[in-house]
A and B are shown apart, each in its own frame.
Chain A
Amino acid sequence: MPGNVTNTREIAKTQLWRENQVLRQILGICSSLAVTNSMKNSLVMGLGLSFVTALSSMTLSAMRDIIPHRVRMIVQTMVIAAYVILVDLALQAFLPDISKQLGPYVGLIITNCIIMGRAEAFAQKNPPLPAMWDGFFAGLGYTWVLLFIALIREVLGFGTVFGVNVDFIGFERWTIMIMPPAAFFIIGSMIWAMSARAQRLPTPNKK
């Protein structure tokens, strides 16, 4: 993916679909799968990550000329961690129940490779505003993948969508869906579908 696309629409298309961080770059899986047995948690987690990625990309891009090269990584980590702490505090203050359920996974946003990846690949070479959009859409791309996985898991495992009962026929709950293996199977299949599709159509703007 060329790192110099600065058109917001292009960035959105790239990050949401074509080069989706989770499905195509296989990044950021760590903290993502654990929360996908509930759509509500996935949404909050996804939005939290979008916020952190957008703002840290913007901040790091604004500082890109004054950051000493040698300590780049640690500066990136510190800025990211600061934004994650903000998100964590805000969750504790306004959504205490969700904050409790997400537990350590909010803190783990720090080590989510998407944020660091965008900071390295895009924010370093681009001005703050495109960097912010790039980070934001990378986060949204991650959010929809999480929500999709959570939709399958929550409907089949609990019979609910966002906690609202949608089980009109009274089927047997599929316990494996709320356990970890289901997350692996679903994301594996999604990645498979995406790369099979990418192999079939040779897109001109892919390297």
Chain B
Amino acid sequence: MPDINPLIIFLASIATSNMVLSNFLGMCSYLSVSSEYKTASGLGMAVTLVLVLTSALNWAVYTYLIVPLDLVYLQYVIFIIVIAALVQVLEMAMDRYTPDLHAKLGIFLPLITVNCAILGATLFMVIRSYGFVQSVLYGLGSGLGWWLAISMLAAMREKLAKAKLPPGMSGPAISFIITGIMAMAFIGFSGIFTIQ
């Protein structure tokens, strides 16, 4: 377990090493669900929730199941099954106990299983051998960072819908250019967080 303050991991995963803007993870849904601010924000919230839960769960699975049983070579399969199962359970639980939330987030849940950001966070956390608290805060930070990025993109795309763009530029092309500019701005954050 690296001797890094979990709070710094949390802040860095939002700003300096944002899931989308510097790790390129979760791009598929980032691009396809960002034409409307409200929907995008809903998806962001769902991703954050799932990220926190899977980070915690996969950390436990890795530490208490995969390592003791020497199954490291099967880890990808195990992680993805844990994620898929968790998303399924979460959907059923939401449907039953919080129908309001389910109405809001339910449609996004199936999309999340194949969101690379979720598996990505798990793999990064394992490869960097984070402890439990570090993992959970990393998951939370990554989720918030993803949420922030997709909300910003969606907000800008709403305005852009009315703009006159060169032919072929509207849609994914302009989204990438905007994302590039956002990524450049986020580079400005690097150096804020000092490691003791």
Contacts and interface: CB of A to CB of B under 8 A. Distances in A.
A contacts B: CB pair < 8 Å? yes
B31 interface: yes
B contacts with A: majority SS: helix
A183 B24 contact: yes
Given A88-B76, A110-B119, A180-B22, A26 B31 contact: yes
A contacts with B: majority SS: helix
B25 interface: yes
Interface in A29-46: 29-34
Interface string B142-174: 000000000000000000000000111101111
B173 A184 contact: no
Interface of A: 26-34, 73-74, 77-78, 81-82, 84-85, 88-89, 103-104, 107-108, 110-113, 116, 176, 179-185, 187-189, 191-200
B80 interface: yes
B181 interface: yes
Interface in B158-196: 166-169, 171-177, 179-181, 183-184, 187
Interface in B94-130: 113-120, 123-124, 127
B28 A196 contact: no
Nearest to A35: B24
Contact of B119 (A111, A182, A183): A111
